[in-house]
């Protein structure tokens, strides 16, 4: 982004807040970029000749006589095949001293796909994790977050899912990523020999929070290039969207907007939806799948960030540590993949939907039995069996360190049914029981 010749330089700021500056200027376009005192900024409000700019890296030390130069265009990313295998900052500038890439400069945060031109997602993404493949099957073109407390290994699970998912490109959008986690992703991808299909846009905790606002749009602009121009299967990883939303609230607060629930801006739903709805299956075969992380505070999903996210995304995956087995599992009760109906029993074996439901129902019976036990009541013989089943189900299927095929998951489930229950207790359609019940 070079300064062009004969550009007007403004030198008088009328107002400065922690995230914005205001000055008098004419002929300025909404959302165009500017350089304020050597820092990138974007127009967020125009009122007559008063222009308010959001300074991404914060306004510390900016004097009222700072130089302001307008670029006349919104933020852009140069897209091309060269993006692959490289690391960028939130502005799309190469990291580690790499050179600028060649390619067409595209506006980030571009228009939405005409819903009528979308294709219905129907391709399963296999991860080998039964908590996902069996209970909450993922599909290309889906958007789904991990809801997890900060102490849970969501980044590890996400990296594992990304590598197993057989995507053509994996695009990492890191927002407020700790440097350690950033290096973790880098190492995992490097060790897997996958670096040439990875593109990273990273804002770490060491960098200013408002910069994060650019990361998802950068990552998704790159994703659209590969999915539309190259018809590739692109997987976008966004971590951590809670920190992204926090940055939104900082900006809206500085602009004196009336906060709604949990001090979040009233537009939070639309802001998040604009990002997540970039997930799409194109008719020509390309797709963008988004797996995100939304960290929770004490497992509270009623907070505005996870709550709005849940209404936008196609399900959510909860991680928790199972106290009986000590394994990290994908919680079968609270997790959900809304698109699973498009593939289970269609792309997978016919018994998949019913086996999945029966297993979760029996697991729920075990949870009830556990409550009884905790309240000091006697267990029935059925309760005892349910508890044993739950233990095995957790060890052999739910634990995230298990890596098996969907058919094996189904067979395993049938074996557990037969081991602990009678056919009527499992309550699956008779024709399926006759076909799959192990002898």
Tokens of 137: 């099957």
Quick check: 245 and 305 in contact, CB under 8 A? yes
Binds another protein by CB under 8 A, chosen from 353, 409, 414, 436: 353
Question: Per rule CB under 8 A, is residue 346 in the interface with another protein?
Answer: no
In the range 220-279, which residues lie near another protein by CB under 8 A? 228, 257-261, 266-267, 269-270, 273-274, 277-278
In the range 271-300, which residues lie near another protein by CB under 8 A? 273-274, 277-278, 280, 282
Cα-flanking dihedrals φ and ψ of residue 255, to 5°?
-95, 15
Tokens of 66: 């700072």
What are the CA-CA distances from residue 390 to residues 92, 332, 369 (Å)? 48, 11, 11
Total residues contacting another protein by CB under 8 A comes to 81
The Cβ-side half-sphere exposure at 173, using a 13 Å CA radius, reads 32
Stretch that binds another protein, among 8-16, 203-211, 390-398, 424-432 (CB under 8 A): 424-432
In the range 39-58, which residues lie near another protein by CB under 8 A? 44-49
Quick check: 183 and 175 in contact, CB under 8 A? no
Q: Which is nearer to another protein, 198 or 247 (CB)?
A: 247
Q: How far is the CB of 55 from another protein (least distance, A)?
A: 18
Question: Per rule CB under 8 A, is residue 339 in the interface with another protein?
Answer: yes
Question: Per rule CB under 8 A, is residue 141 in the interface with another protein?
Answer: yes
Binds another protein by CB under 8 A, chosen from 14, 31, 80, 100: 31
Q: Which is nearer to another protein, 50 or 183 (CB)?
A: 50
In the range 95-134, which residues lie near another protein by CB under 8 A? 107, 110-121
Q: How far is the CB of 137 from another protein (least distance, A)?
A: 14
The Cβ-side half-sphere exposure at 428, using a 13 Å CA radius, reads 28
Question: How do 233-239 and 169-177 pair as beta strands?
Answer: parallel
Look at the block and give the residue holding tokens 């029935």.
380
- Please state, in angstroms and rounded to a whole number, the distance separating the CA atoms of residues 323 and 325: 6
Binds another protein by CB under 8 A, chosen from 307, 322, 350, 384: 307
Give the closest residue to 171 by CA, choosing from 149, 199, 197. 199
Look at the block and give the residue holding tokens 């995507």.
167
In the range 159-218, which residues lie near another protein by CB under 8 A? none
Tokens of 114: 């005409």
Question: Per rule CB under 8 A, is residue 69 in the interface with another protein?
Answer: no
Question: Per rule CB under 8 A, is residue 418 in the interface with another protein?
Answer: no
Binds another protein by CB under 8 A, chosen from 8, 18, 93, 334: 334
Q: How far is the CB of 326 from another protein (least distance, A)?
A: 23
Identify the DSSP state of 314.
S
Question: Per rule CB under 8 A, is residue 315 in the interface with another protein?
Answer: yes
How far apart, in Å, do the first and last CA atoms of the chain sit? 70
Stretch that binds another protein, among 86-94, 208-216, 375-383, 402-410 (CB under 8 A): 375-383
Q: How far is the CB of 273 from another protein (least distance, A)?
A: 3
Binds another protein by CB under 8 A, chosen from 18, 190, 377, 403: 377
- Please state, in angstroms and rounded to a whole number, the distance separating the CA atoms of residues 348 and 26: 61
Q: Which is nearer to another protein, 94 or 345 (CB)?
A: 345
Secondary structure of 39-55 in the HEC alphabet?
A: EEEEEEEEECCEEEEEE
Q: Is the peptide bond before 240 cis (omega within 30 degrees of 0)?
A: yes
């Amino acid at each position: 982004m070079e300064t062009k010749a004969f550009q007007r330089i403004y030198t008088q700021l009328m107002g400065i807040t922690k995230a914005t500056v205001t000055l008098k200027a004419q002929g300025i376009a909404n959302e165009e970029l500017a350089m304020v005192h050597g820092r990138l900024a974007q127009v967020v409000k125009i009122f007559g000749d008063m222009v308010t700019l959001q300074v991404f890296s914060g306004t510390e030390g900016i004097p009222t006589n700072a130089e302001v130069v307008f670029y006349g265009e919104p933020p852009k990313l140069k897209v091309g095949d060269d993006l692959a295998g490289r690391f960028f900052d939130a502005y799309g500038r190469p990291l580690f001293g790499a050179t600028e890439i060649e390619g067409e400069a595209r506006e980030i945060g571009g228009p939405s796909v005409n819903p009528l031109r979308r294709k219905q997602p129907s391709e399963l993404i296999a991860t080998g994790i039964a908590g996902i493949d069996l209970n909450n099957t993922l599909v290309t073109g889906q958007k789904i977050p991990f809801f997890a407390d900060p102490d849970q290994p969501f980044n590890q699970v996400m990296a594992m899912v990304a590598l197993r998912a057989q995507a053509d490109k994996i695009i990492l959008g890191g927002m407020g990523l700790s440097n350690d986690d950033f290096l973790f992703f880098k190492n995992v991808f490097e060790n897997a020999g996958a670096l040439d299909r990875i593109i990273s846009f990273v804002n770490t905790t060491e960098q200013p929070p408002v910069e994060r606002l650019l990361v998802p749009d950068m990552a998704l602009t790159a994703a659209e290039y590969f999915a539309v121009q190259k018809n590739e299967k692109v997987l976008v990883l966004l971590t951590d969207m809670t920190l992204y939303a926090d940055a939104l609230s900082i900006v809206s607060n500085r602009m004196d907007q009336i906060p709604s629930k949990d001090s979040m801006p009233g537009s939070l739903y639309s802001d998040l939806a604009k990002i997540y709805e970039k997930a799409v299956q194109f008719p020509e075969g390309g797709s963008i799948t988004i797996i995100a992380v939304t960290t929770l505070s004490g497992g509270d999903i009623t907070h505005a960030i996870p709550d709005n996210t849940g209404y936008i995304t196609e399900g959510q995956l909860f991680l928790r540590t199972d106290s009986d087995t000590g394994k990290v599992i994908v919680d079968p009760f609270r997790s959900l993949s809304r698109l699973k109906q498009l593939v289970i029993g269609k792309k997978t074996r016919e018994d998949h939907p019913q086996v999945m439901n029966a297993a979760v129902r029996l697991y729920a019976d075990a949870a009830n039995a556990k409550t009884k036990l905790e309240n000091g009541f006697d267990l029935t013989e059925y309760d005892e069996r349910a508890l044993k089943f739950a233990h095995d189900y957790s060890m052999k299927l739910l634990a995230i360190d298990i890596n098996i095929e969907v058919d094996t998951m189904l067979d395993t489930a049938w074996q557990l049914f037969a081991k602990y229950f009678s056919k009527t207790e499992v309550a699956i359609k008779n024709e399926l029981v006759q076909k799959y019940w192990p002898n």
